Amino acid sequence: MIKTIGLLTRTDGWTHEQFMKHWIEIHAPLARAVPGLRRYVQNHIAGERTRADIPATAVEIDGIAELWFDDQAALDDAARSPEMKALHDDGARFIGRIRSYVVEEKTVIG
């Protein structure tokens, strides 16, 4: 299993509420059409957890997106699809900044 994790910040001029409404109502349905996409998770920020012994990383985000694929080949195929292009084009409407990572999940507990 391979996945991408994106740290999303809303477009300038959009409220957090506008960002969330678009992400849920418009963007999420587009993800359903992406070929090879096994799982799509929207992580909605509910609060922040801090630690006294480790300083926080300076980052302001509105949400975290996870896209799961069987393997790198499935991710590569999806990335070339018109459905992923539509998803990215829509993302450009409401996502002002993004930091994305491709990760391999290693389960420690579970």
Q: What is the CATH number of the domain that holds 9?
A: 3.30.70.100
Residue 14 structural domain? 2-47+60-104
55 assigned to some structural domain: no
Whole-number pLDDT of residue 25: 98
- Do the beta carbons of residue 1 and residue 66 sit within 8 Å? no
Whole-number pLDDT of residue 56: 87
Whole-number pLDDT of residue 105: 85
110 assigned to some structural domain: no
Based on the structure, what is the number of domains in the chain?
A: 1
> What pTM was estimated for this model as a whole?
0.90
29 assigned to some structural domain: yes
54 assigned to some structural domain: no
66 assigned to some structural domain: yes
Closest CA to 98 of 20, 22, 9, 19: 9
Whole-number pLDDT of residue 106: 87
- Do the beta carbons of residue 4 and residue 101 sit within 8 Å? yes
Q: At what angle do helices 82-94 and 72-79 cross, to 10 degrees?
A: 70
Whole-number pLDDT of residue 50: 86
**Regions of the chain where pLDDT drops below 50:** none
